[in-house]
Amino acid sequence: MQVDSTSAVFDLDGTLLAGDSTGHWLKESLLTSWLRLLTGLALLPAAGPLLLHPRSRPAGATPLFWLATFGLDEAALRASFASFVARAQRGTSGLRWRERGLETLERHLAQGHRVVVVTGAPALLAQSLLDARGLGERVTVLGT
């Protein structure tokens, strides 16, 4: 295989995945405990409208992400992501891969191109999702 200096950049959410990986993970995480759920519902009147617009989405997601991760160390966060990814792989998370995007990504890899996946999702979540598809070591992930 001849290595090419070409790079290809893919967005994770909306291009490789149909849906918002962070949003699906947040929803599932907040549903894991009554306290998280009730606190999340209390935050929703302020955070909800911000989630509707792409430019303000980070401001709306930040308090919900904080709530979903409160009290978790890195190992627990990795476990949470792994559990979510396992459900996504089984098709029970509401998140699905876009085969056309994956096929295009695979073509670039087969041609020896450097592939970068960019995302507003946590890099650890994105990496976990790509690892589950066997892509993690073959692509570079840039996330928040």
Residues 62-105 have pLDDT tens digits of 999 999 999 999 999 999 999 999 999 898 888 999 999 999 99
pLDDT, position 1: 47
Q: Which helix (H) or strand (E) holds 140?
A: strand 140-142
Tell me the mean pLDDT in the region 42-46: 95
Q: What is the pTM of this model?
A: 0.86
10 SS3 class:
strand
Give the C-alpha separation, 57 to 60, whole Å.
Answer: 5
Q: How confident is the model at residue 4 (pLDDT cuts 50, 70, 90)?
A: low
pLDDT, position 92: 87
Token pair of 31, please? 């549903």
139 SS3 class:
coil
Give the C-alpha separation, 144 to 57, whole Å.
Answer: 13
57-69 and 21-30 helices, crossing angle to 10°: 40
pLDDT, position 94: 86
- 71: Cβ contacts below 8 Å, ≥ 6 apart: none
User: Reading across the β-sheet that carries 140-142, which strands appear in turn?
Assistant: 7-11, 114-118, 140-142
